[in-house]
Amino acid sequence: MPSVKMNQGNNVLGTQPIPGMIWKFAIPAIISAMTNQVYNLIAQVYIGWSVGDLGIAATNVAFPLAILITALSALFGMGGAAKFGLYMGQGKPEEASQTIGNALVLMVVSGLAVSIAATVFLRPLLYAFGATEAIMTYAIPYTLITNIGIPFGILAVGASYLIRADGSPSFSMLVVLSGVIFNLIAAPVFLFGLEMGIGGVALATTLGQMLSSAVAIYYLRVKFKSVSLKREGFQLRGAVIKGVCALGSAAFFTHLAAAAVQIVQSNALRYYGAQSIYGSEATLAAAGAVIKVMAFLMSVVIGISLGCQPIFSYNYGSKRYDRVKEAYKLAVSYATMVSVIAFLCIQIFPRPILSIFGSGNPLFYDFAVQYMHIYLFMTFANGIQPVTSTFFSSIGKARMGFWMSLVRQVILLMPLLLILPIFWGINGVLWAGPLADGIAVVLVILFAAREMRIMTGLQLKQVPDAGIARNS
Protein backbone atom coordinates (compact mmCIF):
# COMPACT_ATOMS: atom_id res chain seq x y z
CA MET A 1 0.00 0.00 0.00
CA PRO A 2 1.45 3.42 -0.97
CA SER A 3 2.12 5.79 1.87
CA VAL A 4 1.16 9.44 1.69
CA LYS A 5 4.19 11.70 1.66
CA MET A 6 2.37 15.05 1.37
CA ASN A 7 0.07 16.57 3.99
CA GLN A 8 -3.23 16.88 2.15
CA GLY A 9 -4.51 19.72 4.29
CA ASN A 10 -1.44 21.82 3.50
CA ASN A 11 -1.28 21.10 -0.23
CA VAL A 12 -0.37 24.38 -1.89
CA LEU A 13 -2.83 23.64 -4.71
CA GLY A 14 -5.68 24.11 -2.26
CA THR A 15 -4.32 26.91 -0.07
CA GLN A 16 -2.22 29.47 -1.98
CA PRO A 17 -3.86 32.44 -3.81
CA ILE A 18 -4.95 31.49 -7.32
CA PRO A 19 -3.21 34.25 -9.36
CA GLY A 20 0.20 33.47 -7.91
CA MET A 21 -0.49 29.72 -8.10
CA ILE A 22 -1.30 29.95 -11.81
CA TRP A 23 1.99 31.64 -12.61
CA LYS A 24 3.94 29.33 -10.28
CA PHE A 25 2.78 26.36 -12.34
CA ALA A 26 2.32 28.09 -15.69
CA ILE A 27 5.71 29.79 -16.02
CA PRO A 28 7.72 26.51 -16.03
CA ALA A 29 5.15 25.03 -18.44
CA ILE A 30 5.40 28.11 -20.66
CA ILE A 31 9.20 27.97 -20.65
CA SER A 32 9.06 24.27 -21.55
CA ALA A 33 6.57 24.81 -24.36
CA MET A 34 8.32 27.89 -25.73
CA THR A 35 11.77 26.32 -25.57
CA ASN A 36 10.53 23.24 -27.37
CA GLN A 37 8.94 25.39 -30.08
CA VAL A 38 12.08 27.51 -30.29
CA TYR A 39 13.98 24.36 -31.16
CA ASN A 40 11.37 23.33 -33.75
CA LEU A 41 11.52 26.80 -35.26
CA ILE A 42 15.32 26.91 -35.29
CA ALA A 43 15.47 23.41 -36.77
CA GLN A 44 13.25 24.64 -39.61
CA VAL A 45 15.56 27.61 -40.09
CA TYR A 46 18.62 25.31 -40.19
CA ILE A 47 16.89 23.07 -42.73
CA GLY A 48 15.65 26.02 -44.79
CA TRP A 49 19.12 27.55 -45.06
CA SER A 50 20.95 24.27 -45.71
CA VAL A 51 18.48 22.04 -47.59
CA GLY A 52 15.90 24.51 -48.87
CA ASP A 53 12.15 24.42 -49.42
CA LEU A 54 12.08 20.65 -49.98
CA GLY A 55 13.60 20.07 -46.54
CA ILE A 56 10.99 22.30 -44.87
CA ALA A 57 8.25 20.49 -46.80
CA ALA A 58 9.68 17.12 -45.72
CA THR A 59 9.37 17.95 -42.03
CA ASN A 60 5.86 19.27 -42.70
CA VAL A 61 4.60 16.02 -44.22
CA ALA A 62 6.21 14.08 -41.35
CA PHE A 63 4.55 16.36 -38.80
CA PRO A 64 1.48 14.13 -38.22
CA LEU A 65 3.77 11.61 -36.50
CA ALA A 66 5.02 14.36 -34.19
CA ILE A 67 1.41 15.26 -33.44
CA LEU A 68 0.71 11.59 -32.65
CA ILE A 69 3.53 11.63 -30.08
CA THR A 70 1.92 14.67 -28.45
CA ALA A 71 -1.52 13.03 -28.62
CA LEU A 72 -0.45 9.84 -26.85
CA SER A 73 1.53 11.84 -24.30
CA ALA A 74 -1.61 13.84 -23.54
CA LEU A 75 -3.85 10.75 -23.45
CA PHE A 76 -1.81 8.99 -20.78
CA GLY A 77 0.08 11.94 -19.27
CA MET A 78 -2.65 14.55 -19.00
CA GLY A 79 -5.28 11.89 -18.33
CA GLY A 80 -3.12 10.32 -15.63
CA ALA A 81 -2.29 13.70 -14.10
CA ALA A 82 -5.96 14.74 -14.00
CA LYS A 83 -7.06 11.47 -12.40
CA PHE A 84 -4.13 11.62 -9.98
CA GLY A 85 -5.06 15.17 -8.97
CA LEU A 86 -8.69 14.25 -8.41
CA TYR A 87 -7.70 11.28 -6.24
CA MET A 88 -5.27 13.37 -4.21
CA GLY A 89 -7.92 16.04 -3.69
CA GLN A 90 -10.28 13.29 -2.45
CA GLY A 91 -7.61 11.86 -0.11
CA LYS A 92 -7.16 8.55 -2.00
CA PRO A 93 -3.36 7.97 -2.25
CA GLU A 94 -3.53 4.28 -3.18
CA GLU A 95 -5.66 4.96 -6.24
CA ALA A 96 -3.44 7.92 -7.10
CA SER A 97 -0.32 5.72 -7.03
CA GLN A 98 -1.92 3.08 -9.27
CA THR A 99 -2.89 5.80 -11.73
CA ILE A 100 0.70 7.00 -12.07
CA GLY A 101 2.07 3.46 -12.56
CA ASN A 102 -0.50 2.46 -15.18
CA ALA A 103 -0.09 5.72 -17.08
CA LEU A 104 3.67 5.19 -17.38
CA VAL A 105 3.30 1.63 -18.64
CA LEU A 106 0.78 2.77 -21.25
CA MET A 107 3.19 5.45 -22.49
CA VAL A 108 5.99 2.94 -23.06
CA VAL A 109 3.82 0.28 -24.72
CA SER A 110 2.07 2.73 -27.05
CA GLY A 111 5.40 4.34 -28.00
CA LEU A 112 6.94 1.05 -29.04
CA ALA A 113 3.85 0.09 -31.05
CA VAL A 114 3.75 3.39 -32.95
CA SER A 115 7.50 3.36 -33.60
CA ILE A 116 7.40 -0.11 -35.14
CA ALA A 117 4.27 0.51 -37.20
CA ALA A 118 5.51 3.87 -38.51
CA THR A 119 8.78 2.30 -39.64
CA VAL A 120 7.20 -0.73 -41.32
CA PHE A 121 4.66 1.38 -43.23
CA LEU A 122 6.84 4.46 -43.70
CA ARG A 123 6.55 5.04 -47.46
CA PRO A 124 2.76 4.66 -47.76
CA LEU A 125 2.33 6.81 -44.64
CA LEU A 126 4.39 9.66 -46.09
CA TYR A 127 2.47 9.53 -49.35
CA ALA A 128 -0.77 9.63 -47.37
CA PHE A 129 0.57 12.62 -45.44
CA GLY A 130 0.96 14.56 -48.71
CA ALA A 131 4.57 13.93 -49.82
CA THR A 132 5.57 14.25 -53.45
CA GLU A 133 8.42 12.26 -55.00
CA ALA A 134 10.76 15.24 -54.67
CA ILE A 135 9.89 15.67 -50.98
CA MET A 136 10.18 11.93 -50.31
CA THR A 137 13.95 12.11 -50.88
CA TYR A 138 14.29 14.08 -47.66
CA ALA A 139 11.25 12.84 -45.75
CA ILE A 140 12.31 9.17 -45.64
CA PRO A 141 15.74 9.54 -43.97
CA TYR A 142 14.36 12.20 -41.61
CA THR A 143 11.40 10.08 -40.46
CA LEU A 144 13.32 6.81 -40.19
CA ILE A 145 15.53 8.37 -37.54
CA THR A 146 12.80 10.26 -35.68
CA ASN A 147 10.75 7.05 -35.47
CA ILE A 148 13.41 5.64 -33.13
CA GLY A 149 12.74 8.43 -30.67
CA ILE A 150 8.94 8.02 -30.55
CA PRO A 151 8.81 5.87 -27.35
CA PHE A 152 11.20 8.25 -25.59
CA GLY A 153 9.28 11.31 -26.74
CA ILE A 154 5.96 9.95 -25.46
CA LEU A 155 7.48 8.97 -22.11
CA ALA A 156 9.28 12.30 -21.61
CA VAL A 157 6.32 14.55 -22.44
CA GLY A 158 3.77 12.30 -20.72
CA ALA A 159 5.84 12.04 -17.55
CA SER A 160 6.22 15.83 -17.44
CA TYR A 161 2.45 16.08 -16.88
CA LEU A 162 2.69 13.65 -13.95
CA ILE A 163 5.66 15.48 -12.44
CA ARG A 164 3.80 18.80 -12.66
CA ALA A 165 0.77 17.20 -10.96
CA ASP A 166 3.11 16.02 -8.19
CA GLY A 167 3.70 19.68 -7.36
CA SER A 168 7.06 20.04 -9.14
CA PRO A 169 6.48 22.37 -12.10
CA SER A 170 10.14 23.40 -12.20
CA PHE A 171 11.38 19.83 -12.56
CA SER A 172 8.68 19.19 -15.16
CA MET A 173 10.22 22.08 -17.07
CA LEU A 174 13.68 20.58 -16.63
CA VAL A 175 12.54 17.33 -18.26
CA VAL A 176 11.67 19.17 -21.47
CA LEU A 177 14.51 21.69 -21.33
CA SER A 178 17.21 19.05 -21.01
CA GLY A 179 16.34 17.53 -24.37
CA VAL A 180 15.67 20.84 -26.11
CA ILE A 181 18.97 22.39 -25.02
CA PHE A 182 20.79 19.29 -26.23
CA ASN A 183 18.98 19.63 -29.57
CA LEU A 184 19.91 23.27 -29.92
CA ILE A 185 23.58 22.39 -29.51
CA ALA A 186 23.67 19.10 -31.41
CA ALA A 187 21.52 19.97 -34.46
CA PRO A 188 23.90 22.52 -36.03
CA VAL A 189 26.91 20.31 -35.17
CA PHE A 190 25.36 17.30 -36.93
CA LEU A 191 23.91 19.34 -39.79
CA PHE A 192 26.80 21.66 -40.61
CA GLY A 193 29.85 20.39 -38.73
CA LEU A 194 29.44 16.69 -39.55
CA GLU A 195 27.55 17.40 -42.80
CA MET A 196 24.84 14.84 -41.96
CA GLY A 197 22.11 16.79 -43.76
CA ILE A 198 18.50 16.58 -42.66
CA GLY A 199 19.27 13.27 -40.93
CA GLY A 200 21.48 15.18 -38.50
CA VAL A 201 18.53 17.26 -37.33
CA ALA A 202 16.50 14.08 -36.88
CA LEU A 203 19.31 12.43 -34.89
CA ALA A 204 19.59 15.45 -32.57
CA THR A 205 15.84 15.29 -31.96
CA THR A 206 15.95 11.57 -31.11
CA LEU A 207 18.92 11.86 -28.77
CA GLY A 208 17.27 14.83 -27.05
CA GLN A 209 14.13 12.77 -26.44
CA MET A 210 16.25 10.01 -24.91
CA LEU A 211 17.90 12.50 -22.56
CA SER A 212 14.55 13.99 -21.49
CA SER A 213 13.09 10.56 -20.76
CA ALA A 214 16.14 9.71 -18.63
CA VAL A 215 15.64 12.88 -16.55
CA ALA A 216 11.94 12.03 -16.12
CA ILE A 217 12.72 8.48 -14.99
CA TYR A 218 15.16 9.83 -12.40
CA TYR A 219 12.45 12.00 -10.85
CA LEU A 220 9.88 9.21 -10.83
CA ARG A 221 12.29 6.78 -9.15
CA VAL A 222 13.94 9.14 -6.67
CA LYS A 223 12.00 12.35 -6.10
CA PHE A 224 8.26 11.66 -6.53
CA LYS A 225 6.77 13.12 -3.34
CA SER A 226 2.97 12.81 -3.18
CA VAL A 227 2.81 9.03 -2.86
CA SER A 228 5.21 6.09 -2.89
CA LEU A 229 5.28 4.37 -6.28
CA LYS A 230 5.19 0.62 -5.67
CA ARG A 231 5.84 -2.17 -8.17
CA GLU A 232 2.26 -3.43 -7.99
CA GLY A 233 1.05 -0.03 -9.16
CA PHE A 234 2.59 -0.75 -12.57
CA GLN A 235 0.37 -3.80 -13.15
CA LEU A 236 -2.20 -2.76 -15.73
CA ARG A 237 -5.77 -2.72 -14.44
CA GLY A 238 -8.82 -2.19 -16.62
CA ALA A 239 -10.56 0.25 -14.30
CA VAL A 240 -7.43 2.39 -13.93
CA ILE A 241 -6.79 2.42 -17.68
CA LYS A 242 -10.40 3.42 -18.30
CA GLY A 243 -10.14 6.32 -15.85
CA VAL A 244 -6.87 7.60 -17.33
CA CYS A 245 -8.04 7.34 -20.92
CA ALA A 246 -11.41 8.94 -20.14
CA LEU A 247 -9.82 12.09 -18.79
CA GLY A 248 -7.07 12.18 -21.40
CA SER A 249 -9.36 11.48 -24.35
CA ALA A 250 -10.28 15.11 -25.02
CA ALA A 251 -6.64 16.18 -25.37
CA PHE A 252 -5.86 12.99 -27.30
CA PHE A 253 -8.61 13.50 -29.84
CA THR A 254 -7.77 17.18 -30.13
CA HIS A 255 -4.24 16.27 -31.21
CA LEU A 256 -5.40 13.29 -33.27
CA ALA A 257 -7.87 15.50 -35.06
CA ALA A 258 -5.07 18.01 -35.65
CA ALA A 259 -3.03 15.23 -37.27
CA ALA A 260 -5.98 14.25 -39.46
CA VAL A 261 -6.52 17.88 -40.45
CA GLN A 262 -2.80 18.20 -41.18
CA ILE A 263 -3.01 15.22 -43.53
CA VAL A 264 -6.13 16.52 -45.30
CA GLN A 265 -4.62 19.99 -45.54
CA SER A 266 -1.29 18.73 -46.90
CA ASN A 267 -3.05 16.72 -49.58
CA ALA A 268 -5.23 19.71 -50.45
CA LEU A 269 -2.14 21.92 -50.70
CA ARG A 270 -0.40 19.33 -52.84
CA TYR A 271 -3.37 18.96 -55.21
CA TYR A 272 -4.59 22.54 -55.47
CA GLY A 273 -1.09 23.95 -55.14
CA ALA A 274 -0.13 22.08 -58.31
CA GLN A 275 -3.00 23.84 -60.10
CA SER A 276 -1.91 27.27 -58.86
CA ILE A 277 1.03 29.51 -59.71
CA TYR A 278 2.82 28.37 -56.53
CA GLY A 279 3.23 24.63 -57.12
CA SER A 280 2.93 21.79 -54.58
CA GLU A 281 6.34 22.05 -52.96
CA ALA A 282 6.18 25.81 -52.30
CA THR A 283 2.71 25.62 -50.73
CA LEU A 284 3.68 22.68 -48.50
CA ALA A 285 6.90 24.40 -47.44
CA ALA A 286 5.08 27.66 -46.70
CA ALA A 287 2.44 25.86 -44.64
CA GLY A 288 5.15 24.05 -42.69
CA ALA A 289 6.96 27.30 -41.89
CA VAL A 290 3.77 29.08 -40.81
CA ILE A 291 2.71 26.17 -38.60
CA LYS A 292 6.03 26.33 -36.74
CA VAL A 293 5.71 30.10 -36.27
CA MET A 294 2.16 29.76 -35.01
CA ALA A 295 3.11 26.94 -32.64
CA PHE A 296 5.84 29.14 -31.17
CA LEU A 297 3.52 32.11 -30.66
CA MET A 298 0.81 29.94 -29.09
CA SER A 299 3.16 27.98 -26.85
CA VAL A 300 2.50 30.52 -24.08
CA VAL A 301 -1.21 29.69 -24.25
CA ILE A 302 -0.45 25.99 -24.07
CA GLY A 303 1.82 26.60 -21.09
CA ILE A 304 -0.92 28.49 -19.24
CA SER A 305 -3.36 25.70 -20.00
CA LEU A 306 -1.03 22.94 -18.80
CA GLY A 307 0.01 24.92 -15.72
CA CYS A 308 -3.61 25.23 -14.60
CA GLN A 309 -4.40 21.51 -14.97
CA PRO A 310 -3.30 20.45 -11.44
CA ILE A 311 -5.05 23.50 -9.96
CA PHE A 312 -8.32 22.59 -11.67
CA SER A 313 -8.13 18.91 -10.73
CA TYR A 314 -7.10 19.21 -7.08
CA ASN A 315 -9.59 21.93 -6.17
CA TYR A 316 -12.46 20.30 -8.03
CA GLY A 317 -11.71 17.03 -6.23
CA SER A 318 -11.69 19.00 -2.95
CA LYS A 319 -15.01 20.67 -3.92
CA ARG A 320 -13.41 24.13 -3.85
CA TYR A 321 -15.50 25.35 -6.75
CA ASP A 322 -14.76 29.00 -6.02
CA ARG A 323 -11.05 28.38 -6.64
CA VAL A 324 -11.76 26.35 -9.78
CA LYS A 325 -13.86 29.14 -11.29
CA GLU A 326 -11.35 31.81 -10.36
CA ALA A 327 -8.51 29.80 -11.92
CA TYR A 328 -10.46 29.22 -15.15
CA LYS A 329 -11.46 32.87 -15.59
CA LEU A 330 -7.94 34.11 -14.95
CA ALA A 331 -6.42 31.50 -17.27
CA VAL A 332 -8.78 32.49 -20.10
CA SER A 333 -8.01 36.19 -19.64
CA TYR A 334 -4.24 35.55 -19.64
CA ALA A 335 -4.46 33.26 -22.69
CA THR A 336 -6.58 35.77 -24.60
CA MET A 337 -4.09 38.58 -23.99
CA VAL A 338 -1.32 36.38 -25.40
CA SER A 339 -3.47 35.43 -28.40
CA VAL A 340 -4.13 39.08 -29.24
CA ILE A 341 -0.39 39.81 -29.18
CA ALA A 342 0.24 36.81 -31.46
CA PHE A 343 -2.48 38.03 -33.84
CA LEU A 344 -0.90 41.48 -34.09
CA CYS A 345 2.55 40.01 -34.80
CA ILE A 346 1.18 37.77 -37.53
CA GLN A 347 -0.87 40.45 -39.23
CA ILE A 348 1.68 43.29 -39.04
CA PHE A 349 5.03 41.53 -39.50
CA PRO A 350 4.47 38.42 -41.67
CA ARG A 351 7.31 39.00 -44.12
CA PRO A 352 10.04 39.74 -41.53
CA ILE A 353 8.97 36.67 -39.56
CA LEU A 354 9.07 34.42 -42.62
CA SER A 355 12.43 35.74 -43.75
CA ILE A 356 14.19 33.74 -41.02
CA PHE A 357 13.62 30.57 -43.04
CA GLY A 358 16.03 31.72 -45.72
CA SER A 359 14.01 30.59 -48.73
CA GLY A 360 15.07 32.17 -52.01
CA ASN A 361 11.75 31.33 -53.66
CA PRO A 362 9.47 34.41 -54.02
CA LEU A 363 6.46 32.11 -54.46
CA PHE A 364 7.17 30.69 -50.99
CA TYR A 365 6.89 34.16 -49.46
CA ASP A 366 3.84 35.19 -51.47
CA PHE A 367 1.83 32.16 -50.40
CA ALA A 368 3.13 32.11 -46.80
CA VAL A 369 2.11 35.75 -46.26
CA GLN A 370 -1.40 34.99 -47.55
CA TYR A 371 -1.50 31.91 -45.33
CA MET A 372 -0.67 33.98 -42.24
CA HIS A 373 -3.08 36.80 -43.06
CA ILE A 374 -6.09 34.63 -43.92
CA TYR A 375 -5.77 31.17 -42.35
CA LEU A 376 -4.63 32.60 -39.00
CA PHE A 377 -7.05 35.54 -38.95
CA MET A 378 -8.89 34.30 -35.82
CA THR A 379 -5.70 33.89 -33.81
CA PHE A 380 -6.84 36.57 -31.34
CA ALA A 381 -9.55 34.16 -30.08
CA ASN A 382 -7.49 30.98 -30.10
CA GLY A 383 -6.53 31.12 -26.43
CA ILE A 384 -10.00 30.18 -25.20
CA GLN A 385 -10.30 26.66 -26.59
CA PRO A 386 -7.04 25.09 -25.24
CA VAL A 387 -7.71 26.39 -21.73
CA THR A 388 -11.35 25.29 -21.79
CA SER A 389 -10.57 21.84 -23.17
CA THR A 390 -7.95 21.28 -20.45
CA PHE A 391 -10.41 22.62 -17.88
CA PHE A 392 -13.13 20.10 -18.73
CA SER A 393 -10.70 17.17 -18.78
CA SER A 394 -9.15 18.27 -15.49
CA ILE A 395 -12.47 18.31 -13.62
CA GLY A 396 -13.49 14.87 -14.86
CA LYS A 397 -15.93 16.03 -17.56
CA ALA A 398 -14.36 13.75 -20.16
CA ARG A 399 -17.39 13.60 -22.45
CA MET A 400 -17.65 17.38 -22.71
CA GLY A 401 -13.94 17.68 -23.35
CA PHE A 402 -14.21 14.99 -26.03
CA TRP A 403 -16.95 16.78 -27.96
CA MET A 404 -15.17 20.09 -27.68
CA SER A 405 -12.07 18.51 -29.20
CA LEU A 406 -14.11 17.36 -32.20
CA VAL A 407 -16.00 20.57 -32.90
CA ARG A 408 -13.22 22.69 -34.37
CA GLN A 409 -11.08 20.07 -36.06
CA VAL A 410 -13.42 17.31 -37.23
CA ILE A 411 -16.91 18.77 -37.40
CA LEU A 412 -15.91 22.15 -38.83
CA LEU A 413 -12.38 22.42 -40.23
CA MET A 414 -12.01 19.09 -42.02
CA PRO A 415 -15.24 19.38 -44.07
CA LEU A 416 -14.38 22.98 -44.94
CA LEU A 417 -10.93 21.90 -46.16
CA LEU A 418 -12.59 19.36 -48.41
CA ILE A 419 -15.45 21.53 -49.70
CA LEU A 420 -14.20 25.11 -50.06
CA PRO A 421 -11.24 24.34 -52.38
CA ILE A 422 -13.65 22.75 -54.85
CA PHE A 423 -15.08 26.21 -55.47
CA TRP A 424 -12.16 28.52 -54.59
CA GLY A 425 -9.09 26.39 -55.30
CA ILE A 426 -6.08 27.08 -53.09
CA ASN A 427 -7.87 30.06 -51.50
CA GLY A 428 -10.50 27.67 -50.15
CA VAL A 429 -7.81 26.03 -48.03
CA LEU A 430 -6.90 29.40 -46.55
CA TRP A 431 -10.45 30.49 -45.67
CA ALA A 432 -11.31 27.18 -43.99
CA GLY A 433 -9.22 28.16 -40.95
CA PRO A 434 -10.91 31.39 -39.79
CA LEU A 435 -14.41 30.06 -40.54
CA ALA A 436 -13.86 26.99 -38.36
CA ASP A 437 -12.17 29.01 -35.60
CA GLY A 438 -14.94 31.61 -35.47
CA ILE A 439 -17.78 29.10 -35.08
CA ALA A 440 -15.83 26.94 -32.63
CA VAL A 441 -14.97 29.77 -30.23
CA VAL A 442 -18.66 30.74 -29.92
CA LEU A 443 -19.58 27.15 -29.00
CA VAL A 444 -16.70 26.88 -26.51
CA ILE A 445 -17.80 30.06 -24.73
CA LEU A 446 -21.35 28.72 -24.43
CA PHE A 447 -20.15 25.39 -22.98
CA ALA A 448 -17.86 27.12 -20.48
CA ALA A 449 -20.52 29.58 -19.33
CA ARG A 450 -22.90 26.69 -18.67
CA GLU A 451 -20.27 24.91 -16.54
CA MET A 452 -19.63 28.09 -14.53
CA ARG A 453 -23.35 28.26 -13.70
CA ILE A 454 -23.33 24.61 -12.63
CA MET A 455 -20.43 25.18 -10.24
CA THR A 456 -22.11 28.28 -8.84
CA GLY A 457 -25.11 26.10 -8.03
CA LEU A 458 -22.86 23.56 -6.30
CA GLN A 459 -21.32 26.37 -4.25
CA LEU A 460 -24.71 27.58 -3.10
CA LYS A 461 -25.68 24.09 -1.97
CA GLN A 462 -22.54 23.96 0.19
CA VAL A 463 -23.31 27.19 2.06
CA PRO A 464 -25.52 25.74 4.83
CA ASP A 465 -23.06 22.94 5.56
CA ALA A 466 -19.67 24.51 5.01
CA GLY A 467 -20.24 28.24 5.15
CA ILE A 468 -18.76 28.79 1.71
CA ALA A 469 -19.23 32.30 0.45
CA ARG A 470 -21.69 32.85 -2.36
CA ASN A 471 -19.27 33.87 -5.08
CA SER A 472 -20.55 33.70 -8.64
> At which of 211, 235, 259 does a domain end?
235
Distance CA 70, CA 31 (A): 17
Residue 240 placed within a domain? no
Pair 277, 409 in one domain: yes
177 CB burial (10 A radius; 0-12, 13-18, 19+): middle
Question: CA nearest 311: which of 164, 450, 176?
Answer: 164
**420: domain range?**
249-460
More confident residue, 339 or 364: 339
Contacts of 48 (CB under 8 A, 6+ apart): 55, 56, 289, 357, 358, 359
Helix, strand, coil shares of the chain, percent, nearest 5, are: 85, 0, 15
Lowest mean pLDDT among 36-45, 59-68, 106-115: 36-45
> At which of 235, 267, 287 does a domain end?
235
Identify any residues that bridge with 4 across adjacent strands, giving them in sequence order.
Answer: 227
How many domains does the chain divide into?
2
Pair 55, 130 in one domain: yes
The predicted structure's pLDDT at residue 214: 92
Average pLDDT over residues 134-140: 78
Residue 467 placed within a domain? no
pLDDT at 23 over 70: yes
pLDDT at 280 over 80: no
Residue 469 placed within a domain? no
pLDDT band at 40 (very low <50, low <70, confident <90, very high): low
Residue 321 placed within a domain? yes
> At which of 209, 235, 261 does a domain end?
235
Residue 372 placed within a domain? yes
Pair 266, 399 in one domain: yes
Q: Are 160 and 32 in contact (CB under 8 A)?
A: yes
Pair 229, 279 in one domain: no
Pair 317, 188 in one domain: no
The predicted structure's pLDDT at residue 467: 45
The predicted structure's pLDDT at residue 14: 66
Pair 276, 135 in one domain: no
Average pLDDT over residues 360-365: 76
pLDDT at 472 over 70: no
pLDDT at 34 over 50: yes
Q: Are 167 and 226 in contact (CB under 8 A)?
A: yes
pLDDT at 226 over 60: yes
Distance CA 188, CA 194 (A): 9
pLDDT band at 39 (very low <50, low <70, confident <90, very high): low
pLDDT at 121 over 80: yes
Pair 345, 278 in one domain: yes
Pair 158, 288 in one domain: no
- Mean pLDDT in the chain? 79
Pair 254, 374 in one domain: yes
Residue 1 placed within a domain? no
pLDDT at 209 over 80: yes
pLDDT band at 1 (very low <50, low <70, confident <90, very high): very low
Residue 230 placed within a domain? yes
Residue 2 placed within a domain? no
Pair 320, 413 in one domain: yes
The predicted structure's pLDDT at residue 2: 40
Q: Length of the chain, please?
A: 472
* CA end-to-end distance (rounded Å), the chain: 40
Pair 157, 297 in one domain: no
Pair 269, 339 in one domain: yes
